[in-house]
Amino acid sequence: MKRSPDGLVPARGFLKSGLAPRPSFNDGSYPEPLEIVTDDAGSRKAIQSLRTPVSTYDRRVRYAVYEFETLLDSSSIDAEGWDYIAQCVYWNYKLYDGFVILHGTDSLAYTCSALSFMLQNLGKPVILTGSQAPMMELQNDATDNLLSSLIIAGHFMIPEVCLFFNFKLFRGNRATKVAADDFNAFASPNMPPLATVSATKTHVSWDAVYRPTEMQEFNIQMRLDTAHVACIRIFPGIRPNMIDAVLRQEGLRGLVLETYGAGNTPGGPDSDMTKVLADAVKRGTVIVNVTQCLSGSVSPLYAPATVLGRAGVVFGQDMTTEAALTKLSYLLALPDTTPQEIAKRMSVSLRGELTEASRTHFQHPNSGTLTPEISSLIALGYKVQEGDLQGVLDVMRWEKRWLLNDTDYSGNTPLHLAARCPNVEILREFLSQGASVHLRNREGRTPLFLAAQAGLAKHVELLREAGAHPYSEEMRAARLEAKEGRGDAALWRAAGYSVDD
């Protein structure tokens, strides 16, 4: 953003004026331009890339900045704008390791929530960030927010739509804006941050990271139906006919109702308010009950909330208003779904946007006798090499930490090891637990490359099914491998590698 007579307005040329002059964003090497796909036809455009200095993890992040033709103030974003962002990620998904989206703060939580549902089977980090003060201002928070977002996207395979602000990485559909003029502008009241940035490193809570577990490639769902949903906040003295007037708007299909406390509204089971809501549900309108409180959950704790539940109003549990509204818009846009099916899915976690209610469960306390972290990884590696599926399950069952994200001395994750293991069921198990197909070892090799190199056709097929794809840096190595007879040429091609050039 830059100053104008009418206040701050979006400005072009961000890489040249905002990033290139800053040593923390530009090591001065000016590497070759990177390509970016700009439309459905696959048209490519070369744009200048920059590279950061070496991080504390002894790596650099190379990146490019793509500016949309029309720059919006975030208060003007709508479903069409969300579609274009989602398309840009989709078009370039196989060209980049991660994506950082620069966005104004006013509607940032809405966009994060919307994209979390639109980007289906996401296997790479998508981080949205912004600032309370523009980078061109002397005192700003833009520099730290953007640099930290780049570092996280370039170093950690967190396959979620996230929101980064003020040294914290939040799950995007759990965040909400809590301050208009404070650098600490966003919070995630019902879920701790996925990561926090300190002076020396980034601390990731790997056990909290959401991972896709379906064997499907990345895809997008566009055209969220925001035009046929509404949001009403309950207040003392609100008249039922006010709500009825909204619910009878032509074409209305869904309503997010912000209620008191744990989900309460005025009146009882026979009140006019309850009748208005019940009648709307019978007409096919999906009504979702979320709390006005910053933290907490809508539940049948008090009688008024229970009455609404019996009337067919969905308990929104601990969803934010932003998540409830965009999730409802997402489900309404899906083809061939009934109001009953949508209502059912609104109370089920799709992308980690709510905490599903469950029965109390018991577990043994951590007495300090669990296998140390590194020993567990070594034990898991041996079981994989032996093709011992049951042994793998035993190690995973007793290790609370997310082992699938750990690496050995060569940078191989358990999925890399499983890609070479003859027992394809071990590979299937890791994928079903959300192991990332996009992580690369120290040689820059993905599990897909290793499976093709080992000549394991079923492994290649399974990895491709789970969204794995070749990286451009692997192509030359694949051609050399095929030429020297390591892996069948047809299998390399089946994996997506061009070995005939």
pLDDT of residue 399: 62
The SS3 of residue 286 is strand
For the chain, give the number of residues. 501
CA pair distance 133, 146, nearest whole angstrom: 12
Kindly state the DSSP code that residue 312 receives in the 8-state scheme. Answer: T
Kindly report the pTM of this predicted structure.
0.87
Residue 151 one-letter amino acid? I
Please give the full DSSP string across 330-361, using - where no structure is assigned. HHHHSTT--HHHHHHHHTS-SSS-S-------
231-346 and 373-494 in the same fold: no
User: Beta strands of 166-312 (E only): which ranges?
Assistant: 168-171, 176-177, 186-187, 195-197, 202-204, 219-220, 229-233, 254-259, 286-291
CA pair distance 351, 162, nearest whole angstrom: 11
Structure tokens at 462: 């399974």
Kindly state the DSSP code that residue 294 receives in the 8-state scheme. Answer: S
- Ordered by start, the domain boundaries in the chain are 14-220, 231-346, 373-494
Fold of the domain spanning 373-494: 1.25.40
Fold of the domain spanning 231-346: Rossmann fold (3.40.50)
Structure tokens at 293: 């409180």
The SS3 of residue 494 is helix
CA pair distance 447, 464, nearest whole angstrom: 10
pLDDT of residue 370: 40
CA pair distance 248, 435, nearest whole angstrom: 46
Inter-axis angle of helices 303-310 and 272-282, nearest 10: 30
Question: Half-sphere exposure of 410 toward its Cβ, with a 13 Å CA cutoff?
Answer: 11
Structure tokens at 263: 């989900």
Sign of the CA dihedral 217, 223, 226, 228?
Answer: negative
Query: What residues have CB less than 8 Å from 291, skipping those under 6 apart?
Result: 258, 259, 260, 261, 262, 263, 297, 298, 316, 318
pLDDT of residue 443: 87
Give the CA distances from residue 491 to residues 376, 400, 421, 496, in Å, rounded to whole numbers and listed in that order: 33, 37, 17, 9
Structure tokens at 496: 């997506």
> Exposure of 304 by Cβ count < 10 A (0-12 exposed, 13-18 middle, 19+ buried)?
buried
Task: Specify whether the backbone of 407 is left (phi greater than 0), alpha (psi in -120 to 50) or beta.
Answer: beta
CA pair distance 407, 412, nearest whole angstrom: 5
Per-10-residue mean pLDDT for the chain, 501 residues long? 84 91 96 96 96 94 95 92 98 97 96 98 97 90 96 95 97 97 94 94 92 91 96 94 96 96 81 92 96 88 74 93 98 95 94 73 40 71 90 78 75 92 94 92 92 94 95 87 81 89 60
CA pair distance 385, 414, nearest whole angstrom: 10
In what helix (H) or strand (E) does residue 246 lie, and over which residues does it extend? helix 240-247
pLDDT of residue 82: 98
CATH superfamily of 14-220: L-asparaginase, N-terminal domain (3.40.50.1170)
Residue 430 one-letter amino acid? F
